[in-house]
Every structure is written in structure tokens, then in C-alpha cells.
Amino acid sequence: MNTADQAAEMVAAAHNPVYRRRMTSHRIGIALCVLAMAVGIVFLTWILGVLLLKGFGSISIAMFTESTPAPGNDGGGLINAIFGSLLMVGLGTAVSTPIGILAGIYLAEYGDKSILGQVTRFVTDIMLSAPSIVIGLFVYALYVANVKHFSGWAGSLAISLIAVPVIVRTTDNMLNLVPASLREAAFALGAPRWKVAIMVRLRAVRAGVITGVLLAVARISGETAPLLFTALNNQFFSADMNAPMANLPVVIYQFAMSPYENWRSLAWGGALLITFSVLGLNILSRTLFKQTKQG
């Protein structure tokens, strides 16, 4: 078909009522999508602008050297909350990472052939969509109510339960991207199945699995509701995991609603700190995933 015939067909299609109706629907759909994106960008820019404006004005050396102030006291910082968040997020990540990776390997190898694998995948999907406050209440009823006190251990347990399904699904999806020929070559060399799963498949997608871990850390870093029911808060610097422990999300939540100006200022600074931490983790995870795709 030459160019003239194609042009004639396009002209004829343009006069077709069905074609024109579909093009109109298409253009309306595109316009609504662009409008929704523009509205989202405007509100996101507004939120980030206010956060940067008020957050940067609250950043000081005292924020990283002093503990949260008592009511009515001037100054103060967030060092106890920063330390508590790092401790609980670090412990939660250390607990959830091996569990999530091993469960993901099991699902990739046996998930479609066993009832346990199907149940595990179903429960993982439910936990991914479960509100974090429900997980916090679950840990409160299971642990805090029995030991009769809040603690850093309970907070770490709550956020690890949030991180596990993220790591499980990411590991499962990444392992399923490994070509079947690579597995068959390893089996042909006489490697047992467990060694193929760990030494061949997992090694081939290790950057993608690390990406899943970083995404899980980014998610649990800003969780407030589970920590309200588990770790609660602590005005003082403490490394005792068996006692209430300060953490950034809860401190921000409490200070943002306080009548004290320095408390609200610290809340803005803490919010900016968490935002940049999560942003950095997301950028790092996307960089690793991009390198994986290029490789």
C-alpha cells in the first residue's frame, strides 16, 4: 500500500462516526489523566514547599545533640528520638530481612506446588494491604498486654511484621525473573535444588532483592500508628529496649499538636529529616534496580 492509499484511508476514517466517537473518548480520557496528574503535582509541591520552608528553619546542631525538651522548656532536640528510631528500624530490618528472603525463595521454588506455599502467598498479600494500626493493635494484644509495659522490642516486632511481606513479595517476583535456562544449566551440572535457589537464582537478582529490603526500610521508617501501641515514647535518651523508647514518628505526632512553639519547630525538623531519609532510600533502591535491568 502506497502513501496516497494510506492518506485516503486516514481521511475516510476521520469521517467515520465510530472512529470520531472513539477519538473523542480517548482525548477526554487523556485530558482527565493529565488534569489528575497536575492536581497531584500541585498539592505535592505545596506540601513539600511548606515542609522545606518550615523544616530547614528548624534544623540546628541542638536537634542532633539534645533530647526532647520537657513541657515549657526552651530549646531541646531529637537525638533520643533519632537514636530510638534507628535502633528499632535496624532491629526490625535485621529480623525481617532473613525471614522475608527465605520465605520468598520458598515461594519461588515451591509456591505453586504446595498448599503451604499458596497459603503463604495469600497471607502475604493480606499483610501487604493491612493497615499498620491493625498490626500495632495485634502486637499490643499479643505482647504488650501480656508483659504489662511498652517497649522497644514490641516496636521492633510491629515494624518487622510490616516489612516482612514487602521483602517476601519482592524476593519472589525477582526470583521468577531468572531465566529457566540458567536453572536448567545448574541442574545439569548436578547442583542440588537448594544450592540452585541460593547460589544461582538469588545471586543473579541480589540487587533486586536489596532493592526490596530498602523499600521495606523506607516504608517502616515513617510508621507512627504501630509504635503508638508498642514503643510509645520516652522523653529521655535510653538504649533499654525493654522500656518505652522515643522515636521520630511518635515525637512528630505529639509535638505537632502541642501548644509550645519549640515543640512544633522540632516536629517540622523531624518531619523533614524523615522525608529526606525516605527519599534517599527510594533513590538508592531505584538506582540499584536500574543497574539490575541494565545488567
| Stated pTM of the model | 0.84
- Burial class (CB within 10 angstroms; exposed 0-12, middle 13-18, buried 19+) of 216: buried
CB distance 144 to 212 below 8 Å: no
* Whether residues 31 and 9 fall in one domain: yes
Return the pLDDT at 3: 64
Distances, alpha carbon 224 to alpha carbons 184, 195, 264, in Å: 46, 40, 17
- Tell me, yes or no, whether 139 and 114 share the same domain: yes
pLDDT digits (tens, 9 = 90+) for 121-171: 899 989 988 899 999 999 999 999 999 999 999 999 999 999 999 999 999
Domain closes at, from 56, 76, 96: 56
pLDDT for residue 197 is more than 90: no
Q: In this predicted model, what pLDDT tens digit does every residue of 93-124 receive, in sequence order?
A: 999 999 999 999 999 888 777 888 888 889 99
Q: Say whether both 48 and 93 belong to one domain.
A: no
pLDDT score of 195: 87
For 43-57, what is the mean pLDDT?
92
250-253, long-range: CB < 8 A, 24+ apart:
250/81, 250/224, 251/68, 251/78, 251/81, 252/224, 253/224, 253/228
**Same domain membership, residue 166 and residue 37:** no
Total structural domains in the chain?
A: 2
Q: How many residues does the chain have?
A: 295
Contact between 223 and 156 under an 8 Å Cβ cutoff? The reply is no
**Do residue 129 and residue 269 come from a single domain?**
yes
Other C-beta atoms lying within 10 Å of the C-beta of residue 186: 18
Q: What is the CATH number of the domain that holds 126?
A: 1.10.3720.10
Cell of 3: 502513501
Please enumerate in sequence order all residues whose Cβ is within 8 A of that of 85, keeping only pairs 6 or more positions apart, or say none.
221, 247, 248, 249
What does the angle CA 100 – CA 105 – CA 108 come to, to the nearest 5 degrees?
A: 120
* Average pLDDT estimate for 193-210: 87
pLDDT digits (tens, 9 = 90+) for 61-91: 999 999 999 888 888 999 999 999 999 999 9
The mean predicted confidence, pLDDT, of the chain is: 88
For residues 99 and 237, membership in a common domain is answered with yes
Judgement on whether residues 8 and 119 belong to the same structural domain of the protein = no
Are 94 and 235 contained in the same domain? yes
Q: What is the DSSP letter of 257?
A: T
Query: Does 278 lie in the same domain as 203?
Result: yes
Structural domain span for residue 7: 3-56
